[in-house]
Amino acid sequence: AEKILEVKNLKKHFNLGKNRVLKAVNDVTFHVNKGETFGLVGESGCGKSTIGRTILGLYNKTAGDVFFDGKSVHTLPEKELFKLRQRMQMIFQDPYASLNPRSTVREVISEPMEVHKLFRTKKEQNDRVYQLLEEVGLNRDHANRYPHEFSGGQRQRIGIARALALNPDFIIADEPISALDVSVQAQVVNLLKQLQEEKGLTFLFIAHDLSMVKQISDRIGVMYLGNMVELTESESLYENPLHPYTQALLSAIPIPDPDIEEARERIILQGELPSPINPPSGCVFRTRCPFAMEICTREKSQWQEVENNHYVACHLYNEKVNKQKDSDLVVN
Ligand code: SF4
Ligand code: MG
């Protein structure tokens, strides 16, 4: 598969003054293939949105690299970054907050086209607005109304129309359904899927739990406290979660069958999410991990490919890898 996005050892730290540093993103590496949906999952405050903004160049990076279509986003001259931004768009969690309440739907959707001077005439631009409204399941009569006149789901459709205005090929959807009613969530997800198919879009889909991400993602990365702790194909993540945090996230999703629900073993998270200003030594997850060992306090767990295309950062699998190496030695 062809990569559209590569994030390499990305760090984003915020200096809070008085020697306090918020390590929002710590050494995160992953890539997104053209045309796929990559799910980025973790509790709020784990650094998902910061990654999204740093990818788009809205934040400077602290270290590492972001490549979009082979170009290093953070070293591009301003002019080229501006052009590249046409191709990378964002959908936000709360469409109402991201839409100017004093602008009509027409103005909201037209704005990026005006900024990038996409059309020479108002007529062309308006036709494009109507086309976009229809593409997201609204119609041209909605153009002169205001965002607050619409339901949450409709407002998210307006946000999607705006994100599509510049014909992007990559969209970061930052919790686009978290604020919506469950019944509306599926509709918005279906719309995104349909648009992806029609337009060959690539999605980075950010979410705080795994329930909806499973159905829409090809691959999933799980984040905890600024670190990526597990990454693999959607199916293997659900069938064979390796990291204790992923196991906990999965066991938090209710299973409709009461017999299975009762019989299964849950992994319950202990304690609170630590502050990213003062993260635990060693493995960042150790203060909440039911399997924490002595080494977890001393040493950071290394990011490694434990199975084919299945990456995890956890000492439990170091052991497994080390044992394997030992037994190889014996056999040889
Ligand atoms: Fe738990 Fe240790 Fe693995 Fe961290 S490295 S997830 S503390 S077992
Ligand atoms: Mg967020």
Report the residue among 245, 289, 297, 319 best suited for mutation to probe ligand 1: largest number of ligand atoms under 8 A from its CB. 289
Mutational pocket test of ligand 1: of 296, 306, 317, 322, the residue with most ligand atoms within 8 Å of the beta carbon: 296
Global pTM value: 0.92
Rounded Cα distance, 313 and 296, in Å:
11
Task: Give the Å distance between the CA of 292 and the centre of ligand 1.
Answer: 5
Nearest protein Cα to ligand 1, atom 6: 314
What ligand 1 atom has the least distance to the C-alpha of 286?
Answer: 7
What is the C-alpha to C-alpha distance for residues 244 and 314, in angstroms, rounded to an integer? 8
pLDDT at 320: 56
Eight-class DSSP state of 173: E
**Length, in residues, of the chain:** 332
Q: pLDDT digits over 213-269, tens only?
A: 888 999 999 999 999 999 999 999 999 999 999 999 998 777 767 776 666 777 778
Cα(91) to ligand 2 centroid in Å equals: 12
Q: How large a percentage of the chain has pLDDT more than 70? A: 93
CA of 332 to the centre of ligand 2 (A): 50
Strands 170-174 and 63-68: unpaired
List 6's β-bridge partners, or say none: 31, 67
Question: Ligand 1 test: best mutation among 267, 285, 300, 321, most atoms within 8 Å of CB?
Answer: 285
Q: How many CB atoms lie within 10 A of CB 70?
A: 8
Ligand 1 in contact with 273 (CB < 6 A)? no
- How many Å apart are CA 172 and CA 4, to the nearest integer? 13
Across the chain, mean pLDDT equals 91
ipTM: 0.96
Burial class (CB in 10 A: 0-12, 13-18, 19+), 39: buried
Q: Which two tokens stand for residue 58?
A: 């809205």
Give the ligand whose atoms come closest to the C-alpha of residue 287.
1
Ranges 88-102, 254-268, 273-287: which has the least confidence: 254-268
Closest CA to 204 of 95, 73, 68: 68
Distance set, CA 109 to CA 100, 106, 125, 204, 205 (Å): 11, 5, 10, 21, 21
Model confidence at 330, pLDDT cuts 50, 70, 90, reads: very low
Q: pLDDT (tens digit, 9 = 90+) per residue, 163-172?
A: 999 999 999 9
Q: pLDDT by residue (tens digit) across 39-83? A: 999 988 889 999 999 999 999 999 999 999 999 999 999 999 999
**Which domains, ranges and CATH numbers included, belong to the chain?**
3-87+168-240 (3.40.50.300)
- Partners of residue 224 on adjacent β-strands: 227
Per-residue pLDDT band for 93 (boundaries 50, 70, 90) equals: confident
pLDDT tens, position by position, 132-163: 999 999 999 999 999 999 999 999 999 999 99
Name the residue with the closest Cα to ligand 1, atom 7: 286
Cα(44) to centroid(ligand 1), Å: 20
Q: Mean per-residue pLDDT for 94-107? A: 84
pLDDT at 331 over 50: no
Contact residues for 88 (Cβ-Cβ < 8 A; gap 6+) = 55, 56, 68, 168, 170, 171, 172
Q: Name residue 68's beta-bridge partners.
A: 5, 71
For residue range 9-31, list pLDDT tens digits in order: 999 999 998 889 999 999 999 99
